[in-house]
Amino acid sequence: MNFLLDEVARATLRLAEAGVASPRTDAEELAAFVHGVRRAELHNVADGDFDALYWECVARRAAREPLQHITGRAYFRYLELQVGPGVFVPRPETEIMVGWAIDTLRAMDVADPLVVDLGTGSGAIAISIAQEVPRSRVHAVDLDPEALIWAKRNIEASGHADRLTAHQGDMRECPRELDGRVDLLISNPPYVPTEGAHDIPPEVRDYDPAPALWSGADGLDMIRDLERVGRRLLRPGGSMAVEHGDDQGIDIPRLFPEELGWIDVRNRKDLARRDRFVVMRRQDAS
């Protein structure tokens, strides 16, 4: 067996024993990080080049430090983002919601769509939309100044900073200057129930910022607030997408009732066929 592959196999076993959910992938990602290549390029790493730093990284991951904190990078759609302590690590599940938002924007009869991403974290959602909808103007909002540092860093590196504006502020209040003008509102808000903390993996519970996770006893407090924010920010006919937990889908649509002007309220599923986000529109002006 190739020496590098043997080391990766040993690391995979160690990570699996530590309870890591994707041990082989993480072992390969750490090897790629240590040697400055992509996972697909690991076969180009010479056996003699294998570095002891690898086992330091494996030990950190076995202690359940997030992979992305060790490598300093996270992949999201077509982006490679800088991440680390103080910012929520973007998840693959969110990519499906962003894909829906991009398709919705492309179908709109709007030349320069105005988009707001509430709770932007690393900027993953906002930057993806700016990149894939070339004439969009995107506002990214986060209350946490530490998270916003990461978002601004990724915005500057994206090449789309001219169409991306970062705001520090409470997503329930900011940005007031866009009231009634927004074509699409999107958010991956906090939605973890405080009463379910014992079920959360240590990578999330101990490393993701608390304000990005917890949202009341049932996890729906911020989503209830987003209903009011959507009524304030969206133009008539504007669209909204909100991510939620995979066991919350049955509870979310009733928070956006028709009597408050919401139409076409639907749950959408992730790749595992679990309810993952809810979409809706503001009723057109009569």
Which residues are known binding-site members for substrate? Answer: 188-191
HEC states along the chain?
CCHHHHHHHHHHHHHHHCCCCCHHHHHHHHHHHHHCCCHHHHHHCCHHHCCCHHHHHHHHHHCCCCHHHHHCEEEECCEEEECCCCCCCCCHHHHHHHHHHHHHHHHCCCCCCEEEEECCCCCHHHHHHHHHCCCCEEEEEECCHHHHHHHHHHHHHHCCHHHEEEEECCCCCCCHHHCCCEEEEEECCCCECHHHHHHCCHHHHCCCCHHHCECCCCCCHHHHHHHHHHHHHEEEEEEEEEECCCCCCCCCHHHCCHHHCEEEEEEEECCCCCEEEEEEEECCCC
Q: What are phi and psi of 231, to 5 degrees?
A: -65, -30
Binding residues for S-adenosyl-L-methionine: 119-123, 142, 188
Binding residues: 119-123, 142, 188-191
Burial class (CB within 10 angstroms; exposed 0-12, middle 13-18, buried 19+) of 103: exposed
d(CA 186, CA 19): 33
